[in-house]
Structure 1
């Protein structure tokens, strides 16, 4: 048994009122999981949805928050491919009520990877969700090919910036869509070949100029709403839109007749784990790309463990990059 503190949601609503720091006990991990002493945990917009009661995969509180974490393994079940002392990052058992904003966390074994040499704790804590989601979209669900053009919405956000880097590593030309000079500069530093400010000027005309009228092969959409609707005007024939999220508050509005007449496809993306060996291979590939420096967590703000409720409230309109909580 391990004991420590964990941030837990006790009531839906304002995160600063509904999240409490509680003393908690963690038992030995069951098969398929491992237990880590947390050093860092990644944050994101799903935390906002969970706190508000709008995350579709979770029931009522109380439950722990934090989908991803990094640290040292302290316990494993028999037959695990990990060992006590391994430095790892992975996706937490948040769907079972155990999150990463805690001194200890359960990780899904087949959604966990040994941290590559040279990756910092902050990078490791924010690595799993963004890059696994980007991989699900750009490799598994709507594959982008070398030489194709990838348009990333919300490109200064955690999953958007991960998609920029992975898309570039896969050989695509990347166009980042974000709002304001600070976020555009961030995108340019993190894998964008071109940047477009959706708040200034004609977004469609800008994309048309970049692609010389051809349009884009794939739209990566974690935003939805009117921004995604505008991006659809720039999709090339036989193009795809990967529907990843709805940070705007509403999903992209799709018109089946428009899809038919302009011959494009919409693909839903949920990075759910597959068969264990195949899932482990995905993480090995991501770790290899990170180890070779082709992808790296675009760390933004780093928060203290005591700031979790305020940090979650701020995820509704975060600054550029991946927000990370330092636990230890």
Structure 2
């Protein structure tokens, strides 16, 4: 058994009242899990949804926080492809109420990889959710084709930044949309071909200009709300919008008549593991290979101390540019 600290939601409410640091004990991992000593954990908007009681995949407290983590394997069941001492990153077993903001974390083996050479703990911690979701959307659900126009909303956020990079790696022409000059500059530095400020620019006019009147083939939407509504006006015929999330607080407004008359499609994206273990392993191997080649990497933003987890969660409604990460061990 292993004993250490863990942040857990003990009641719904504001992060400072909802999240509590507790001492826990971790048993040996079950088949399909590996146990890691956490060095860093990825953060994001779902944390805020969890503490407020709006995360659809979890019930009432108590439960752990943190969907992704990186560290060293300290225990693995018989037959595991991982060994004690392996440096890995993956998706935590948060659906069974164990999270990554902790000294130890259970990772789902099917969603875990050895950390590619040259990737820091912080980059590794923020890699799994964003890039697995981007892959689900841009490869499994669409897929996007080289040369097509990809519009990424919330492009400086954790989900959007991953889509910008993977879209470029897949050969798309990427137009990033964000809400400040700082965030559009961030998107350009991390691979976008163009970046638009939805607060100060006419998105419809600028998109028409940048695409030569063609419009957008695929919208990657982790934002929803009015920004998504405006973006959908620029969808090309046979275009698609990928529904990733609702950081604005409301989902993208879909009008069935408009979809019919303009011949576009809306697709929901939830990056759950593929039913076929070999197929899922191949997906993670492809992402790891792209990372090892330097074609994709986590766009790390603010790194928070372990003791600052409640404050970090409170910031996720309007985070700074880049992927928020929690440093767990020095």
What's the TM-score bracket when you normalise by the shorter of the two chains?
Answer: over 0.9
What is the aligned partner in structure 2 of residue 287 from structure 1?
288
How far apart are residue 170 of structure 1 and its match?
0.1
In the aligned structure 1, how far is the partner of 2:97 from the partner of 2:229? 35
Deviation of 1:202 (Å): 1.1
5 Å-filtered alignment, 1:50-199, equals: 50-199=50-199
Cα separation, 1, equivalents of 2:191 and 2:248: 23
Which position in structure 1 is the counterpart of 2:219? 219
Count residues in correspondence. Answer: 328
How far the C-alpha of 1:278 sits from its partner, in A, is 1.1
Take 1:191 and 1:268, find their aligned partners in 2: how far apart are those partners?
25
Match of 1:40 in 2: 40
Deviation at 1:203, TM superposition (A): 1.1
Show the counterpart of 2:315. 314
Q: Distance in 1 between matches of 2:206 and 2:95?
A: 41
Task: Name the SS of the counterpart of 2:271 in structure 1.
Answer: coil
Please give the residue correspondences for 1:200-239 in structure 2 after superposition, counting only pairs within 5 Å.
200-239=200-239
Could you give the per-residue CA deviations for residues 175-199 of structure 1, whole angstroms, max 9, x where no partner exists? 0000111001000001100111100
Secondary structure of 1:29's partner? coil
Partner of 2:279: 278
Cα deviation for residue 81 of structure 1 reads 0.7
**Secondary structure in 2 aligned to 1:6?**
strand
1:257-302 Cα distance to aligned partner (Å, 9 max, x none): 1111101110000000012211111110000000000001000000
Q: Could you list the structure 1 runs, at least 4 aligned residues long, displaced by more than 6 angstroms after superposition.
A: none
Unmatched 5+ residue regions in structure 1? none
Q: Distance in 1 between matches of 2:139 and 2:81?
A: 25
CA distance in 2, matches of 1:320, 1:230: 22
Structure 1: how far apart are the matches of 2:320 and 2:124?
A: 19
| CA displacement at 1:171 relative to structure 2 | 0.2
Structure 2 distance, partners of 1:136, 1:16, is 33
Report SS of the residue matched to 2:282.
Answer: helix
> TM-score if structure 2 supplies the norm length?
0.99
* Deviations 1:146-186, CA, capped at 9 Å, x for gaps: 01010000000001000000000000000000011100100
Offset from partner CA, 1:6-38 (integer Å, 9 cap, x none): 000001010111111000000000010000000
Kindly state the Cα deviation for residue 201 of structure 1 after the two structures are TM-superposed: 2.6
Q: CA RMSD in A?
A: 0.5
C-alpha displacement at 1:142, in angstroms?
Answer: 1.4
Q: Matched residues in 1 for 2:19 and 2:142: separation?
A: 37
Tell me the TM-score normalized by structure 1: 0.99
Residue of structure 2 equivalent to 1:20: 20
Q: What is residue 300 of structure 2 aligned with on the other side?
A: 299
1:253 aligns with 2:243: no
1:48 Cα deviation after fit: 0.5
The 3-state SS of whatever aligns with 1:212 is: coil
SS of residue in 2 equivalent to 1:278? helix
Unaligned runs of 5+ in 2: none
Report the secondary structure of 1:293's partner residue.
coil
SS at match of 1:123: helix
SS of aligned partner of 1:80 = coil
Secondary structure of residue in 2 paired with 1:252: coil
SS of corresponding position for 1:106: strand
